Structure 1
């Protein structure tokens, strides 16, 4: 997926997020992020986009606290969100091939565009679930969101950042995600961590359904019963219980 498609997706889901929270109560509870009222969820999105842009331009700074973000009055949210997404996209496209800091060492600036796209997409779903708004995501973006999440989970650095992820280690247990069309994802839990590949095959447990539903179940935004589970359901539930971001 090229940078232009990532930027297009970021703008699309930032706009969708803004539409989902328009005219909503800033203090409303977000069921899938229960510690955050809606204002904090809005603040997190705009803050994260600007923080990522500053990393691309100037290097790392401490991770900001979403409760410190000030998105302004609700009537200003849409413009504030759009400006943050544009700032990030502009910074990444201007950086080109120049390496920048990431959680996993220096890497391409597009790391932040891709990370923020998928973070925004999932939080777009959070906002829609909280306000009763509509949510959808293009299949190519949903598929890349699953792959990107698995890349994060399989990196050895991730368990040092969030120790609960170390519980995903195993002794060869396998989890398959089957979108029904095209290759799925085959995940293996090894003593050294998570391994995965784009493949369709037998596994100890298979989660099957439309790729959008797979993304939302896999990121704990929809219940497991939304899709078809074949095999060791306890294994699927254990995986989900230890992947809370």
Structure 2
């Protein structure tokens, strides 16, 4: 996905998030983000976009606490969220190919555009599930979100950020995410050194099959595994999902 597509997706899902929380009670708890009310979820989105923009412009800064974010009055949430997404896109455009700080070492500024897009996609789903609004994500965005999350999980740095991710190491167990509306799938191996993966559709110990949107929602633990077809070692799939809570 090029920068223009990433930016389009960011704006689309920021707007979708804003629509999902419109007229909702800010104190409503978000089932898929335990302990977060909608106000905190909204604050996190705008805060994260601005934080990523500041990294691109000025370098690293401490990860902000979502409970410190102030999205303002609910009737102003949409504009506030839109401004944060626009700020991030502008920062990335200005940075061009200049490497910037990331958790995984210097990378092009587009890293943060992509990371924030997919964080927004998943939290858009959180908001929609909370307020019973419709949620859709384009297949190319959903597919890239799965790939991006696997890139994060397979980086050795990730286990140092969240010890639960170290439990994804294994002795060769394999999982396949098999989309029935895209090609190919994602073949994942739990190796002693960590997670390894490739875009391929081939036999695995457990296979999850369904639309790529559903696979993303299951993979990100926004929908139960029963939302897709699971064949093979169901305990292996359950273990994976239990240890990938971000």
The TM-score, its normalising length taken from structure 2, stands at 0.99
- Between the aligned partners of 1:126 and 1:85, the Cα distance in structure 2 is 18
Deviation per residue, 1:148-167 (Å, 9 max, x gap): 00000000000000010000
- Between the aligned partners of 2:94 and 2:136, the Cα distance in structure 1 is 29
**Equivalent residue, structure 1, for 2:8:** 8
Number of corresponding residues: 245
CA positional deviation for 1:205? 0.2
Q: Secondary structure at the match of 1:51?
A: helix
**Equivalent residue, structure 1, for 2:50:** 50
- Between the aligned partners of 2:10 and 2:95, the Cα distance in structure 1 is 17
Q: Which stretch of structure 1 is more off in the superposition, 117-126 or 181-190?
A: 181-190
**Equivalent residue, structure 1, for 2:74:** 74
**Equivalent residue, structure 2, for 1:233:** 234
Unaligned 5+ segments in structure 1 are none
Q: Secondary structure at the match of 1:62?
A: coil
- Between the aligned partners of 1:93 and 1:21, the Cα distance in structure 2 is 29
**Equivalent residue, structure 2, for 1:173:** 173
Is residue 213 of structure 1 aligned with residue 191 of structure 2? Answer: no
CA positional deviation for 1:84? 0.1
CA positional deviation for 1:74? 0.2
CA positional deviation for 1:34? 1.6
- Between the aligned partners of 1:183 and 1:66, the Cα distance in structure 2 is 36
CA positional deviation for 1:94? 1.1
Is residue 198 of structure 1 aligned with residue 213 of structure 2? Answer: no
Question: Which residues in structure 2 correspond to 1:25-174 (within 5 Å)?
Answer: 25-174=25-174
- Between the aligned partners of 2:207 and 2:183, the Cα distance in structure 1 is 15
- Between the aligned partners of 1:62 and 1:227, the Cα distance in structure 2 is 38
**Equivalent residue, structure 2, for 1:243:** 244
Q: Secondary structure at the match of 1:141?
A: helix
Deviation per residue, 1:51-76 (Å, 9 max, x gap): 00000000000000000000000000
Deviation per residue, 1:225-244 (Å, 9 max, x gap): 00000100000000000000
Structure 1's consecutive aligned runs of 4 or more residues displaced over 6 angstroms after TM superposition are none
Q: Secondary structure at the match of 2:70?
A: coil
CA positional deviation for 1:110? 0.3
Q: Secondary structure at the match of 1:36?
A: coil
CA positional deviation for 1:93? 1.1
